[in-house]
Amino acid sequence: MKQKLKNNQSGRTIMEMIAYIMIMVTLTAAIASMVHTGIHRYECSQIQQELADLKKIIVMRYAAAGNYKQISWNDLRESHMGPKSIMPTRDCSTRKCYGQHTFEGKIDIGTNDEYGETFYIEFQELPTDVCAQMGSKQWPATDGSDMERLQINNTVWTFASLKNDGEKVLPAQTKDVVEACKKGYDNKIRWTFN
């Protein structure tokens, strides 16, 4: 008597399972990478918007006084003028405090001189790529104030008429900005406006 072969086996082989798992892992990694890139792009645009909004608010807040002598986080906080996303959450009346940008670094504001004719905005703890993007930003004089000085870590740019030894002339060239930005999250940019 002949025995018939059974042809009703179901299931997958180990090789098919490994191939399936490899495909799923590759797709998951690709999707995760795209999501991470999208989030980082959003954060980059968000931090640039925070800077532009803060500058605009400072100019509007102190326009009536004609100077920036009283500029402080406490004043912006009490007047309810600062962007809520970057405002300090604690009372700043008795000690120095800082705002916080999208990448969770400090934001400092203040005046550069005793007359209050200029003010600065300083973003600290910036990643390298964000440092390069923000340092390359050109500031149009549309709100009544011009950028007169840019400092990235230890490199300074200013106008030729204000230039000191060792400083570069504005506008900052992208190549120079990239060189001024350090690797990692330890970059600091200070913009000075008049």
Domain harbouring 112, CATH code: 3.30.1690.10
**Into how many domains does the chain fold?**
1
Nearest partner of 57 among 3, 109, 128, judged by Cα: 109
> Which range marks the domain in which residue 119 is found?
14-193
Residue 151 lies in a domain: yes
Residue 161 lies in a domain: yes
Residue 7 lies in a domain: no
Residue 5 lies in a domain: no
In this prediction, residue 142 carries a pLDDT of 57
Residue 55 lies in a domain: yes
In this prediction, residue 8 carries a pLDDT of 61
Beta strands in 48-159 (DSSP E): 99-100, 106-111, 119-126, 147-152, 155-158
Residue 9 lies in a domain: no
Residue 1 lies in a domain: no
Q: What is the pLDDT along the chain (194 residues), one digit of tens a residue?
A: 555 555 665 667 888 889 999 999 999 999 998 888 888 888 888 898 898 889 888 888 888 788 888 888 888 888 877 778 888 877 777 778 888 998 989 999 998 878 888 899 999 999 999 999 888 887 665 555 688 889 999 999 988 777 778 888 888 888 999 999 999 889 999 999 88
pTM of the model: 0.79
